[in-house]
Amino acid sequence: MARDGSVVPADPQVMAVVKKKTQSSRSWILFDGTGQGSLLDVDKYAIMHRVQIHARDLRILDPLLSYPSTILGREKAIVLNLEHIKAIITAEEVLLRDPTDENVIPVVEELQRRLPRLSASNQQQGNGKEYLGGQNDAEAAEEDESPFEFRALEVALEAICSFLAARTTELEMAAYPALDELTSKISSRNLDRVRKLKSAMTRLTARVQKVRDELEQLLDDDDDMADLYLSRKAGSSSPVSGSAANWFATSPTIGSKISRASRASIATARFDENDVEELEMLLEAYFSEIDHTLNKLTTLREYIDDTEDYINIQLDNHRNQLIQLELFLSSGTVCLSFYSLAAAIFGMNIPYTWNDNHGYMFKWVVIVSGGFSSLMFLIITAYAQKKGLVGS
């Protein structure tokens, strides 16, 4: 295989049916600014040379190694490792790893849909006709104005947030009925089922927490967010930065809704090297979404803890009932022991004179033993009622 690798045009329909085991672990798909995809089968040195990153950054995207979710800004690229989404984003193209993975295919389709610039698609479809649209068109125009790397980053963030939210919903649908069934009937089967669900919830919580922490770390550091402005660092050669001011002046949808002063301030802020407001708003939106998913998992954990407390209370109650039964059996044994004492006294093979001509003595001993036994039983029962061990 050549050092630069082989490039093959990508067909989404073919990619969807290709089996994963027939693909090399080094397979990539390349998207350019028009949304056109090309399959690449290249080695790591070709990727490093193409996007100009170090081997340690590329190692983060290795599926054979376990690395937590990470978003790294480099001089000319963004290294993105979000669960199954492993990508390298530059100011002009996106490299996505393992495009035939069943979880990655929706990301591929979304990149093909959202990466092409709106102005280019309008020129191809309109053929000089006036472009009409409403609120959806205005939102699409705003999305189109975003730098290329931010559009690609937004697709990845949206995909991972939706994926984790879907896994959380599936876990909730399985966990809540299982917990309710466990509270109604405590059995080994139900306990094992809840144990497995709790383990799955712990793993999912750790994954969601890592994505949330990564977004929070970016939001807390303006320098890290500034490193993600690849088009700004590329300078005037970037097509996005060169057309920003003209777009605000000519847009028929947005220009009618904001004043000239507002457009001028936005255009000025766009060229401010220290301004990270656009990326900050993007990250905050998905931070709120992933935080909502984490809150749902936290609520599920609290429900599991409450269920465990309820089960422990039930088990304690059953344990107290067994203690009560043991207490009554023990008290009964003590009372019966007095009858055994009487039988033992008169059954001894020892000559004693007080038994001669005193046959009534046996009757008195039995009566006294029975009365003392009944008295002891009543005392034990009253004491148990006073301590709340038995009902009154």
pLDDT at 168: 95
Order of strands, edge to edge, in the sheet holding 70-73?
6-9, 37-41, 27-31, 94-97, 85-89, 78-82, 70-73
State both tokens at 1.
């295989």
* CA distances, 24 to each of 38, 115, 165, 278 (Å): 15, 26, 30, 37
- CB of 178 closer than 8 Å to CB of 194: yes
199-201-206 Cα angle (round to 5): 100
Question: pLDDT tens digit string along 9-34?
Answer: 555 554 544 444 444 445 888 998 88
What is the distance between the alpha carbons of residues 138 and 361, in angstroms, rounded to a whole number?
A: 112
Angle at 100 between CA 96 and CA 103, to 5 degrees: 80
- For residue 147, the one-letter residue type is P
Higher pLDDT: 140 or 171? It is 171
Structural contact between residues 9 and 43, judged by C-beta atoms closer than 8 angstroms: no
Q: Is 242 a residue whose pLDDT tops 60?
A: no
How confident is the model at residue 21, as a pLDDT? 41
Mean pLDDT of 271-298: 87
The C-alpha R_g of the chain, in whole angstroms, comes to 38
Name the residue with higher pLDDT: 175 or 365: 175
251 compared with 91, residue with greater pLDDT:
91
Q: CA of 331: how far to CAs of 261, 366, 376, in Å?
A: 93, 19, 8
Give the residue carrying structure tokens 């000239």: 260
Strand partners, 9: 38
For the record, the structure tokens of 88 come out as 């390298």
Low-confidence winner among 137-141, 171-175, 264-268, 275-279 (lowest mean pLDDT): 264-268
Helical axes 188-220 vs 277-347, angle rounded to 10°: 150
For residue 270, name the pLDDT band (cuts at 50, 70, 90). very low
Task: Report, as an integer, the average pLDDT of 170-184.
Answer: 92
Mean pLDDT on 366-376: 71
pLDDT of residue 124: 46
Instruction: Give the lowest-confidence range in 143-152, 170-179, 356-365, 371-380.
Output: 356-365
- What average pLDDT does the chain have? 75
Check whether 209 has a pLDDT greater than 90. Answer: yes
Stretch 349-354: mean pLDDT, rounded? 63
pLDDT confidence of residue 10: 53
pLDDT at 256 over 60: no
| Strand partners of residue 7 | 40
pLDDT class of 146 with cuts at 50, 70, 90: confident
Cα distance from N-terminal residue to C-terminal residue, the chain: 88
Q: How far is CA 34 from the centre of its chain?
A: 33
Q: Work out the percent of the chain whose per-residue pLDDT is above 90.
A: 29
pTM metric for this prediction = 0.68
The answer to whether the CB of 108 falls within 8 A of the CB of 99 is yes
pLDDT of residue 298: 95
Which of 178-192, 232-246, 326-340 is modeled with the greatest confidence?
A: 178-192
pLDDT of residue 63: 80
Q: What is the mean pLDDT of residues 201-224?
A: 92
Which whole number is the average pLDDT over 206-233?
90
